[in-house]
Copies of this chain bind each other. A is one copy, B any other.
Amino acid sequence: MSKVTQSTIQVGELATGQALTIPLYDIKGTDSAAPSVYIQANVHGAEVQGNAVIYQLMNLLEGYDVLGDIRFAPLANPLGINQKSGEFTLGRFDPITGVNWNREYFDHNIDLATWYAEHQHLADDVLFQAYRATLIESCQARLKQPFGITTGHRLAVSLQSMAHKADIVLDLHTGPKSCKHLYCPEYDIDAARFFSIPYTLVIPNSFGGAMDEAAFCPWWQLSDFAAKQGRVFAVPVSAFTLELASQERIDLADALIDAKGILAYLSHRGVIREKVEPADMARFGCYLRDYKKFHAPKAGLIEYCAAVGQALDAGQPLVNILRMDLYGTDDAHQVISLPMDCVPILHFASASVHQGTELYKVMTNVFRL
């Protein structure tokens, strides 16, 4: 029933002069009171599966009654997506500066004391509207810095400017070799029950440069600040990073599953009129402080023994390290395990590593959601 219209946004310019553009797809909602949505995918160049999810979701939505405005920004980092090195996409960081494309979003550093003093007389919805306008203007001003801004920051702030217009922001990523997992701010933990994602990282309100944080932190801060002034309201904006399994992979059937999970969340939030039930599945949570990175204690060839997304008991093999230079010694083949129960969430993509390479990320102290 809904109709998708296309446009493009320019986010930069290549050395040859060609415009860096992102295709945008908009569905106009029929109820201006319904929440608006912004969904982007592929900010990291190798993390393509989110595009397939957007494709399936747009297809699905054609059969629903869409109440809130929805904007899709697939292929959201054309420079990163097109940057190949050998047989893989080198799309995690700007190849010139090394800066992670998902750490380039803008920290507004709004002076809340001043801003709130000026706007506290406003009713909630008008207050939110004013705050939203402030965030968007701040982005626009940033893009017009007299000495310019970096390539990656221009991209990020252009995307952020669109995200700030929405009530719900979804940033579709993947891990290297990964099971599905969700980054979810603590205040919004109920949302985790809707997506088709078994593992959820519960994250605090601190800005590290990522899109989800860029979208929700200013609102969480506003909510916090107001609460201290005695005015209580829920954080008005929801933002999540969905990690949809492994990079360098397109799987249309699996994309449909995640599209339905997103649809269930949008249904719950009233973005579509129809009721869509979430998948019936076990879901687990872990606090960010319990999310551990395991680095290669020594260099070598790696057999990844632990399957991602499956509980691993303390003492069970995580990796085998093979050292062909040490054949005939005890160090030629070493089995590495962890001293606590965990769920391996993702592992490194290459099977030969320098000492210190991040081999696995594991959840510990996992709890049922």
Which stretch of A114-122, A134-142, A150-158, A210-218 is in the interface?
A150-158
Nearest chain B CB to A339 CB, angstrom units = 8
Residues of B within 8 A of A58 (CB): 327
Q: Does A333 contact B (CB under 8 A)?
A: yes
Q: Does A300 contact B (CB under 8 A)?
A: yes
Q: Does A355 contact B (CB under 8 A)?
A: yes
CA of A93 to CA of B251 in the docked complex: distance in angstroms?
A: 30
Known A-B contacts: A55-B324, A248-B351. Give 15 more (CB < 8 A).
A6-B327, A12-B355, A13-B298, A13-B299, A16-B352, A17-B326, A20-B355, A51-B301, A55-B333, A82-B354, A88-B349, A150-B357, A151-B357, A154-B355, A252-B320
Q: Which of A51, A252, A348 has the most CB of B within 10 A?
A: A51
Contact indicator B348/A87 (Cβ below 8 Å): yes
Q: Does A195 contact B (CB under 8 A)?
A: no
Contact indicator A17/B250 (Cβ below 8 Å): no
Which stretch of A72-80, A180-188, A257-265 is in the interface?
A72-80
Residues of B within 8 A of A298 (CB): 13
Instruction: Answer whether A356 and B148 are a contact pair too, CB < 8 Å, given A96-B84, A299-B14.
Output: yes
Nearest chain B CB to A305 CB, angstrom units = 10
Residues 295-323 of A contacting B (Cβ, < 8 Å): 295-303, 320, 322-323
State the interface size on chain A (CB cutoff 8 A): 92
Q: Does A63 contact B (CB under 8 A)?
A: no
Contact indicator A149/B295 (Cβ below 8 Å): yes
Nearest chain B CB to A206 CB, angstrom units = 16
Contact indicator A358/B249 (Cβ below 8 Å): no
Contact indicator A327/B23 (Cβ below 8 Å): yes
Instruction: Answer whether A16 and B299 are a contact pair too, CB < 8 Å, given A52-B322, A55-B324.
Output: yes
Q: Does A90 contact B (CB under 8 A)?
A: yes
What are 5 inter-chain pairs, A to B, with CB distance below 8 A? A46-B352, A82-B354, A84-B96, A89-B350, A148-B297
From the candidates B54, B86, B249, B333, name the one contacting A95 in the complex (CB within 8 A). B86
Residues of B within 8 A of A353 (CB): 15
